[in-house]
Chains A and B, each alone.
Chain A
Amino acid sequence: MTPELPAEGRELDALLKALRDGILVVNSEGEVAYANGAACALLGRSEHEIRGLSFGFPISGEGDTDITIVRPDGVPRILEMRANPLEWRQEPVQLVVLRDVTDQRRMTEELHRLARRDGLTGLYNHVSFYSILKNEIARSNRNKGDLSLLLLDIDCFKRFNDAFGHRAGDAVLRDIAQRICEEVREIDSVCRYGGEEFTAILPGTDIRGAVAVGERIRERIQAQPFPAGGDRSVPVTVSLGAASLWADESTAEKLVERADAALYRAKNLGRNRLVIADEQGQSVHEGAGIPSV
């Protein structure tokens, strides 16, 4: 590559060629003055194409930064880059080290997604629920804004599962998740709290708003029976507890506890209804003509 290199330069050259990491030397004009074999492979171009190429001044901030390389074959790769200033042949240059991290980044992304989501319904899972709720509580306290929580439980779900099988039961869970999502806004977070229990975190919503949303969900689920194998379809209902954040309340656990107590009351009062927390068990909305079990 550089015939005028002294002996130790040639040894260095051989070393750089053997490295698995891509090494580029970029001069003060932003042009590539040197590229080792690994760098050429990572960039998907020959040494001839890369030498003298106007690459630009590399910035890697405090440590490493990710860049995306679009190769001539059109496949983007993610490279981790670190740039360090260096004196090279009496010239100030940037030494750029490149490493392909495409597979790691994709795997990390997928793991993050999986860790946050419930596999069956695609909703946020129990762990995400608490982290989202804590963030929203902190935000509400900062902005002195409203925040409400709905807790929803499918009525007599065990009986449905026993009668029609778990496959039909899973379909009900997915379908209910879908219906809940369709009744809330983009900024609301719907989570699968447990087996047949769901939650909806409603930022900027007071208790009246939460009751309206909860009632829409309850009616929506009640209105359309669920497939139970073959041509059969079976009505399914849900009970809800609604709670709003108090001004002096700051823990997620307390809010959930109050919503849970309301949900418990709704169950005791005959199911298929919504109960507001702290209203001494007043059933505010009764299900329309569904016999309590």
Chain B
Amino acid sequence: MDKKYLLKLYIVGGTSHSERVVAEVRKICEEELDHHYVLEVIDVLEHPALAEDERIIATPTLIKVLPEPLRRVFGDLSDREAVVLGLDLRPLGDTPDTDVP
């Protein structure tokens, strides 16, 4: 029932570009996942250790932590189709878990 997506967005913050990326990713999540998600935004310059844990090299990187399997995309995150495809985002409950490859 309370199943949620857990997504982590890694950025280099403090620029208008990074603010735009965060807004675009939020919009995609909101429209594709309809509230069933938690999005954590991590500034890799402020939290280098967190970035190191996930071995983040390039930003922006968006990681789908849950549900498994873990998937990650980076680059132009405003490309909705590629983000949805790359992370395998779909509304929860629509598809049985067994369908996940």
B82 at the interface (CB under 8 A from A): yes
A105 nearest CB across to chain B (Å): 10
Residues of chain B within 8 A of A70, CB atoms compared: 12, 44-45, 48, 51, 56-57, 59
Instruction: Please encode chain B, from 18 to 44, with 1 for each CB lying within 8 Å of some chain A CB and 0 for all others.
Output: 000000000000000000000000001
Question: In the complex, what residue of chain B is closest to A67 when comparing beta carbons?
Answer: B58
Give 1 or 0 for each of A39-80: 1 = CB within 8 Å of chain B CB.
000010100000001111111110001111110001010010
Which of A55, A68, A76 has most chain B Cβ within 10 Å?
A: A68
Inter-chain contact A30/B72, CB cutoff 8 Å: yes
Are A61 and B75 in touch, CB under 8 angstroms? yes
Spell out B's residues near A (CB within 8 Å). 12, 17, 44-45, 48, 51, 55-61, 63, 71-79, 82-83, 86
Kindly state the separation between the CA atoms of A59 and B74 in the bound complex, as whole angstroms: 6
**Interface residue A83 (Cβ < 8 Å from any Cβ of B):** yes
- Bound-state CA distance A67–B44 (Å) is 13
Query: Which 6 pairs, one residue from A and one from B, show the smallest C-beta to C-beta distance?
Result: A56-B72, A61-B76, A65-B76, A59-B75, A57-B86, A59-B82
Pick the contact of A59 from B45, B48, B73 — CB < 8 Å?
B73
Tell yes or no: A81 within 8 A of B by CB.
Answer: yes
- Judge whether A68 and B75 touch: CB under 8 Å: no
Query: Are A67 and B59 in touch, CB under 8 angstroms?
Result: yes
**Chain A proximity of B15: nearest CB distance (Å):** 9
Query: Interface residue count for A (Cβ, 8 Å)?
Result: 23
Q: Chain B residues with Cβ under 8 A from A54's Cβ? A: 55, 72
> With a CB–CB cut-off of 8 A, which chain A residues contact B48?
70, 74
Min Cβ gap B5→A in Å is 16
List chain A residues, Cβ under 8 A from B60. Answer: 67-68
Complexed CA–CA distance, A70 and B42 (Å):
13
> What A residues does B75 contact at CB under 8 A?
58-61, 65, 67, 81, 83
Question: Which of B12, B72, B78, B79 sits near A68, CB closer than 8 Å?
Answer: B12
Whether B71 contacts A55 by the Cβ 8 Å rule is: no
Q: Is the CB of A67 within 8 A of B56?
A: no
Q: List 30 A-B contacts (CB under 8 A).
A: A30-B71, A30-B72, A30-B73, A43-B57, A53-B57, A55-B57, A55-B58, A56-B61, A56-B71, A56-B72, A56-B74, A57-B71, A57-B73, A57-B74, A57-B86, A58-B75, A59-B77, A59-B86, A60-B75, A61-B76, A61-B78, A67-B58, A67-B74, A67-B75, A68-B58, A69-B59, A70-B12, A70-B51, A76-B12, A81-B58
Task: Give the complex CA separation of A169 and B55 in angstroms.
Answer: 56
Alpha-carbon separation in the docked complex, A101 to B57 (Å): 17
Q: Closest residue to A70 on the B side, CB-wise?
A: B44
When distances are taken between beta carbons in the complex, the residues of chain B under 8 Å from A76 are: 12, 45
CB-defined contacts of A53 to chain B, threshold 8 Å = 55, 57
Given contacts A68-B59, A81-B75, list 18 more A-B pairs with CB under 8 A. A30-B72, A43-B57, A55-B72, A56-B72, A56-B74, A58-B73, A59-B74, A59-B75, A59-B77, A60-B75, A61-B76, A67-B59, A68-B60, A69-B57, A69-B58, A70-B56, A74-B48, A81-B58
Choose among A60, A66, A70 the residue with the greatest number of B CB atoms under 10 Å from its CB: A70
Instruction: Closest B residue to A79 by CB, please name it.
Output: B58
- Would you give the 0/1 interface string for A184-203, flagging 1 where the beta carbon is closer than 8 Å to chain B? 00000000000000000000
Interface centre among B17, B76, B77 (most CB of A within 10 A): B76
